[in-house]
């Protein structure tokens, strides 16, 4: 009996020792929420204590805190004073710069369209279970938000509301948001429409917002090419150091993104990537299937994103882009790209590099030397 008890005790001790550390998030994310709660009249000290956060953690830009702090913070706020459409209200009270690197990276972009592409590319800088996809070939242009895991609608409502509000501010109000769309029914739809100043469709078949093509080309108020280049390098460094989820899908996406961005077509095979991930190709395929994905789906997704970036931002020919992405024949790349976007690679490049539209200027204003848009 004693031996059996000792065996069970050893197993329990071994399990505790091997238990993974708690998931962490940047303390700066919590600071942004606390500041917004303060503007809404909540007792910030009370919320901070409920979340188990110290002033030192919140003032340290590099501090990490347990993910459990977020539900504790919001649970206390709701218990003290429930607030209708809380995510929307917090978003409207979140100022520019609350998420410093991402906010300044987006704002220093050349145009509204460039800013939203940067938001999609670097949204991982904030701790939210969301991916953003730009549907630039559609009319109106759609910015689609997808939750990467099942969870409450708060993150979707907050992220979309914040993006709509900030993109308008950074374009001096010259952005026409056609509509906002939610797959769920918000607590008060009319309140969303009034505060976001646009129609809101809910429940719908997608999350996100749509804006006109003219809005897409509006210059950003804080555009600064030199600053943007520095911030982009910093963002790339931060993203490269971020821990990944450990899922086979995420690990494969990361490995493929590195190889595709470098043009390493010969090491994009599933066998080469499986070796890099320290498993057999069969094991990788099985794990991907368990997660509802496949190697071919992730490869196509990664190639599509890289193709968009190469065509929009590089001087490479269409044939060279196809070769870098691992297509042995230009025709195969053309077929794949047209399947993704409905246009050829050359047409996509022309669309992305078209000069921003300028507002018509009256003869009287021209004589006064009026500027077309404020910086």
Q: Is residue 106 part of a domain?
A: yes
Give the Cα separation of 182 and 200 in Å (integer): 8
Give the Cα separation of 27 and 20 in Å (integer): 20
Write the burial class of residue 123 (CB in 10 Å: 0-12 exposed, 13-18 middle, 19+ buried): middle
- Specify whether the CB–CB gap between 323 and 306 falls below 8 A: no
**pLDDT digits (tens), the chain, 375 positions:** 455 444 444 444 443 444 445 567 788 889 999 999 999 999 999 999 999 999 998 888 778 888 889 889 999 999 999 999 999 999 999 999 999 889 999 999 999 999 999 999 889 888 788 889 999 889 999 999 998 776 678 999 999 999 999 999 999 989 999 999 999 999 999 999 999 999 999 999 999 999 999 999 999 999 999 888 888 888 877 776 665 556 788 778 777 776 666 566 555 688 878 876 767 888 889 889 888 889 988 888 888 888 887 887 777 888 888 887 888 788 889 999 999 889 999 998 888 777 444 333 333 333 333 333 333
Model confidence pLDDT, tens digit, residues 99-119? 988 999 999 999 999 999 999
Quick one: 59 and 134 in the same domain?
no
The Cβ of residue 186 has, within 10 Å, a number of other Cβ atoms equal to 22
Give the Cα separation of 182 and 202 in Å (integer): 5
Quick one: 209 and 109 in the same domain?
yes
Q: Is residue 334 part of a domain?
A: yes
Q: Is residue 200 part of a domain?
A: yes
**Three-state DSSP state, 375:** coil
Q: How many domains does the chain have?
A: 3
Q: Is residue 366 part of a domain?
A: no
Q: Is residue 110 part of a domain?
A: yes
- Specify whether the CB–CB gap between 198 and 178 falls below 8 A: yes
Quick one: 126 and 45 in the same domain?
no
Quick one: 266 and 180 in the same domain?
no
Quick one: 211 and 136 in the same domain?
yes
Quick one: 107 and 199 in the same domain?
yes
Buried/exposed 191-225: b ≥16 CB within 10 Å, e otherwise:
ebeebbebebeeeeeebbbbbebebbbbbbebbbe
Structure letter (DSSP) for residue 255: H
| Domain CATH number, residue 269 | 1.10.10.60
Q: Is residue 116 part of a domain?
A: yes
Quick one: 106 and 209 in the same domain?
yes
Quick one: 194 and 145 in the same domain?
yes
Q: Which domain holds residue 261?
A: 249-352
* Structure-token pair, residue 168: 């308008």
DSSP for 26-47, written as a single string? EHHHHHHHHHHHHHTT--HHHH
Quick one: 124 and 203 in the same domain?
yes
Q: Is residue 232 part of a domain?
A: no
Quick one: 104 and 73 in the same domain?
no
Model confidence pLDDT, tens digit, residues 120-132? 988 988 878 888 9
Cα torsion for 166, 170, 171, 173, to the nearest 10°?
A: 50
What per-residue confidence (pLDDT) applies to 180?
98
Which residues sit opposite 66 in a β-bridge? 24
């Amino acid at each position: 009996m004693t031996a059996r008890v000792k065996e069970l005790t050893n197993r329990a001790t071994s399990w505790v020792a091997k238990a993974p550390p708690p998931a962490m998030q940047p303390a700066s994310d919590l600071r942004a929420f606390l500041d917004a709660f303060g503007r809404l009249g909540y007792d910030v000290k009370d919320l901070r204590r409920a979340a188990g956060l110290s002033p030192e953690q919140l003032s340290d830009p590099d501090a990490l805190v347990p993910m459990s702090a977020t539900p504790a913070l919001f649970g206390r706020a709701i218990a003290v004073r429930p607030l209708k459409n809380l995510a929307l209200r917090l978003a409207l009270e979140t100022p520019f710069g609350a998420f410093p690197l991402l906010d300044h990276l987006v704002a220093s972009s050349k145009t509204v369209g460039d800013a939203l592409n940067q938001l999609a590319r670097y949204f991982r800088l904030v701790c939210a279970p969301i991916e953003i996809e730009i549907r630039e070939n559609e009319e109106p242009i759609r910015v689609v938000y997808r939750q990467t895991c099942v969870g409450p609608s708060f993150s979707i409502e907050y992220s979309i509301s914040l993006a709509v509000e900030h993109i308008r501010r950074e374009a001096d109000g010259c952005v026409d948001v056609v509509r906002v769309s939610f797959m769920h029914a918000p607590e008060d739809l009319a309140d969303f429409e009034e505060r976001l100043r646009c129609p809101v469709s809910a429940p719908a078949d997608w999350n996100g917002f749509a804006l006109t093509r003219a809005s897409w080309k509006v210059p950003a108020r804080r555009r600064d090419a030199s600053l943007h280049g520095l911030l982009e390098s910093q963002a790339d460094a931060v993203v490269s150091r971020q821990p990944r989820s450990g899922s086979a899908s995420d690990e494969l996406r990361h490995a493929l993104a590195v190889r595709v961005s470098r043009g390493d077509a010969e090491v994009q095979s599933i066998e080469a990537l499986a070796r890099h991930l320290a498993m057999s190709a069969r094991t990788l395929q099985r794990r991907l299937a368990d997660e509802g994905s496949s190697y071919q789906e992730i490869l196509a997704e990664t190639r599509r994103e890289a193709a968009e970036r190469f065509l929009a931002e590089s001087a490479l020919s269409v044939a060279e882009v196809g070769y870098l992405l691992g297509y042995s024949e230009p025709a195969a790349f053309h077929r794949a790209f047209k399947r993704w976007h409905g246009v050829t690679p050359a047409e996509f490049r022309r669309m992305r590099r078209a000069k921003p539209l300028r507002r018509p200027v009256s003869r009287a204003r021209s004589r006064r030397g009026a500027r077309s848009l404020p910086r």
